[in-house]
Amino acid sequence: MTYTIEQVKALIREYPDFPSEGILFRDIFPIFQHPEAVECLGNHFVERIKALGKSIDVVVGLDARGFLFGPLIAIKLGVAFVPVRKRGKLPGEVVNATYMKEYGEDVFEMQADSIRAGQNVVIVDDLLATGGSCKAAETLVKKLKGNVVLDAFVIGLVGLEGHKQLTAPVYSLIEC
């Protein structure tokens, strides 16, 4: 079966009151039960990135769900993939950035030699909520003198205004 992007969106499940009361959790994992849907999603993001009209050198994926989409998009673009990990998970020299979560601070790291000065970067993750984790990723890219040209998400929670925290243009496949 060949999927349209609307059919891919329809695969996302909603779970009220998970992980706590008042939260509507959107589950992207059903997409991965359908390889053609994953292919469609990857192609959709690649088309959006190419529409920027800019040369892309690196796709950065955020720990952990950005690792599901980031490598796929990077391969389709023929560019490098770079993971952003939680503190202490990467070997070698790293740069780090602190960000706020709903229950306190956390730290993201990136290997210090993963992005070269002047490289154009797309940051990919599954969800844009408050923007803290993506802002930390933007900070890491800037520390390595890269240029973030797009922050791309499967789902953007518009009411939390995370896009206002970010310096690069934002694209969310689903805005809710």
Paired with 13 in beta bridges are 27
Residue 97: which residues within 8 A CB-CB, separation 6 or more? 107, 108, 136, 137, 139, 140, 143
Per the annotation, the verdict on 102 as an active-site residue is yes
Active-site entry in 6, 21, 93, 102: 102
Residue 33: which residues within 8 A CB-CB, separation 6 or more? 11
The answer to whether 165 and 135 have CB atoms below 8 angstroms apart is yes
Active-site entry in 26, 39, 48, 65: 65
Catalytic residues: 65, 102
